[in-house]
Amino acid sequence: MEKYTQGMYPVIRKQTLAREIYDYTVYCPEIAQAAVCGQFVDIAAKGHLLRRPISLCGIDREKGTIRIVFEVRGEGTAEIARINEGDMIDIIAPLGGHGFDLLDKSRKAVAVGGGIGVPPLVPIAQHYGKNITVISGFRSAGAVILQDDFTSAGAETILCTDDGTAGRKGFVTDALAELLEREKPDIIYACGPMVMMKRVAEAAQAHDVRCQVSLEERMGCGVGACLVCACRIKLDGGERYAHVCKDGPVFDSREVIFQ
């Protein structure tokens, strides 16, 4: 039976990637062994009842580490960001019943990310190497993160910013549309704002390309017991609620009913 692990683990590296965006490497061999691409961890924030779910940006089984990159969005994540190198961090992991499905690395993949939705795409890029194009979008140059990670993985990168201060000006979905006119990948992965993922899903469907999206919803337990993180899913011609923590966070885009 699969096991969930909860424990205190040392932060061995902390970096600031952009304003209010932090990059932690945590030493937790048992979690690193069990975790797969697309899963998430649930982190305790001192003084807060609810943990904060954060997706995995890296899994290094040899070194026994995981990497998480998150943005301070409220008091809970601000509290987590006060944890420093050498401090312990309280983690439940690995969570998520369904991560990204990785095809053979010789296949052609495209990953599309927006803002703080970009970090979970890093392990995907490391898997496909030169056979992936990563299209990532940010508000402006100051918010751009993780481009070096994609490049060093061997991925082709297309950087977009809303204001054109870095890369090309415009939305990731425009860049994706242009790419899909030129070539047909075997799979598209997307993580970011709901409206972005909806457009990526539409483009994928129009070009008959398989597409997986990583969803986000406010969570309670993180393990599938409390049923708060509901998302609408098509099933057998009808609709039902799936739960992001247990049934996802990654779903086939054709299943998801985008709001």
Partner 1 sequence: MSRSKVTLAGVELKNPVIPASGTFGYGREYEKFYPLSRLGGISVKGTTETLRTGNLPPRIAETPSGMLNSVGLQNPGIDHFIAEELPYLKTKDIAVIANMAGRDIEGYRVIAEKLDSTDVDMIEVNISCPNVKAGGAAFGVSCEGAAAVTKAVRAATKKPVMVKLSPNVTNIADIARAVEAEGADAVSLINTLLGMRIDIRTRRPVLRNNVGGLSGPAVFPVAVRMVWQVANAVKIPVCGMGGISTWQDAVEMMMAGATAVQVGAAIFNDPYAPVKIAEGIERYCEDNGIADISEIVGSVEPW
Residues that bind partner 1 (CB under 8 A): 1-4, 6, 44, 48-51, 76, 92, 217-231, 240-241, 246
Minimum distance from residue 32 beta carbon to partner 1 (Å): 18
Residue with smaller CB distance to partner 1, 49 or 84: 49
Residue with smaller CB distance to partner 1, 48 or 127: 48
Answer yes or no: are the C-beta atoms of 45 and 80 closer than 8 Å. yes
Minimum distance from residue 196 beta carbon to partner 1 (Å): 19
**92: burial class by Cβ within 10 Å (0-12, 13-18, 19+)?**
buried
Answer yes or no: are the C-beta atoms of 62 and 33 closer than 8 Å. no
Q: Which of 164, 186, 38, 163 is nearest to 113 (CA)?
A: 38
Beta 187-191 vs 156-161: how paired, if at all? unpaired
Minimum distance from residue 187 beta carbon to partner 1 (Å): 27
Residue with smaller CB distance to partner 1, 58 or 76: 76
Residue with smaller CB distance to partner 1, 76 or 99: 76
Answer yes or no: are the C-beta atoms of 209 and 192 closer than 8 Å. no
Minimum distance from residue 44 beta carbon to partner 1 (Å): 7
What does the alpha-carbon distance between residue 87 and residue 189 come to, in Å, rounded to a whole number?
Answer: 34
Minimum distance from residue 174 beta carbon to partner 1 (Å): 28
What does the alpha-carbon distance between residue 173 and residue 196 come to, in Å, rounded to a whole number?
Answer: 7
Residue with smaller CB distance to partner 1, 44 or 111: 44
Minimum distance from residue 77 beta carbon to partner 1 (Å): 12
Adjacency order of strands within the sheet including 132-138? 168-169, 156-161, 132-138, 109-114, 187-191, 210-214, 250-252
Residue with smaller CB distance to partner 1, 88 or 225: 225
